[in-house]
Structure 1
Amino acid sequence: MNPAPVHPHRFTREDRLRQKAAIQRTLKQGRKKVFPELVIYALRNELPHPRLGLAVSRKVGNAVVRNRIKRRLREAFRQQPTRTQGRDVLVVARAGARQLSMRAMGAYFQQTLERA
């Protein structure tokens, strides 16, 4: 039996910022950009691809709302033209992220990533 084909735009384990040390390094050494709905940290890494970490607390909403925000953030990040560069990006969502449009999410990523 053949394994299911991998979608080319899927976020694999390698695309996710998962290690505690990498997350802490991004928080301490990364460039921080604060927006009313999000806080984005970005730090260059040695990898040929970027990694994305998301933090969406229960203050933002219930599980359905939090998962929707995470899906939208992943998609906005995936659509960034600067995604080919190796960076660790950590996004902390605030309560206002519920009303944030995809266009605004993309603009926030673009503002942060072009300077990191």
Structure 2
Amino acid sequence: MAEFCFSKSSRLLNAADYTAVFASTKLKVSRRYFLLLAKPNERACERLGIVIAKKSVPKAVNRNRIKRQIRESFRKNRKRLGSVDVVVLARADADKLSNSQIICDLNTLWQDLEKNTVPQAIKRD
């Protein structure tokens, strides 16, 4: 069960971590409501950062709901990705999606990212 936890080591924690991903993005995967930016890291774990602007999703309740769904989806799919830092950006109208639609959209993004990540990152079992 510990393999599915979402600890501090699984998160991008400070501005420098986010800036590193934005500055040297190696992989981009996009859908209508979400954009994933990723770069391989030297750590032995996958890390997630989430960006949801108030302008894109005005209500805090909806921003928090989307963040929960992103974290849950990442937690379940991260073993497939290898050692990467990922930033998920929510686009305008992402709050119009239901939870199941968010999960479905994110699962497609994780699959696309996995296809492009394997040669560049260390994949774990």
TM-score scaled by length of structure 1 = 0.83
Q: For the Cα contact (< 8 Å) 1:36–1:96, is it kept in 2? A: no
Check the 8 A contact 1:54/1:70 in 2, yes or no: yes
Q: Please list the CA deviations of residues 33-85 of structure 1 after superposition, one character each: whole Å capped at 9, or x if unmatched.
A: 222101110111011110000001112131111011001011111121414x2
The within-5 A match list for 1:20-59 is 20-30=15-25, 31-59=27-55
Bigger shift: 95-104 or 35-44? Answer: 95-104
Q: 2:80 aligns with which of 76, 82, 107?
A: 82
Change (3 A) 1:101 1:47: same
Provide the residue aligned with 1:19 in structure 2. 14
**How many positions carry a matched residue from both structures?**
109
Equivalence for 2:107? 106
Structure 2 stretches lacking a partner, 5+ long = 118-125
Partners in 2 of 1:73 and 1:28 — Cα distance?
22
Q: Percent identity?
A: 30
Residue 29 and residue 114 in structure 1: after superposition, are their counterparts in 2 closer, same or farther (change >3 A)?
A: same
| 1:15 partner amino acid | S
Identify the residue that residue 3 of structure 1 maps to in structure 2.
none
Structure 2 residue matching 1:95: 3-state secondary structure: coil
Distance 1:113 1:24, change over 3 A: farther
Structure 1 segment 52-71 matched on structure 2, within 5 A: 52-59=48-55, 60-71=57-68
1:93 lines up with 2:102 in the alignment: no
Q: Which runs of 5+ in 1 are unaligned?
A: 1-6
Q: Secondary structure at the match of 2:28?
A: strand
TM-score, normalised via structure 2 length? 0.77
Task: Report the AA paired with residue 52 of structure 1.
Answer: L
Matched residue SS, 1:79 = helix
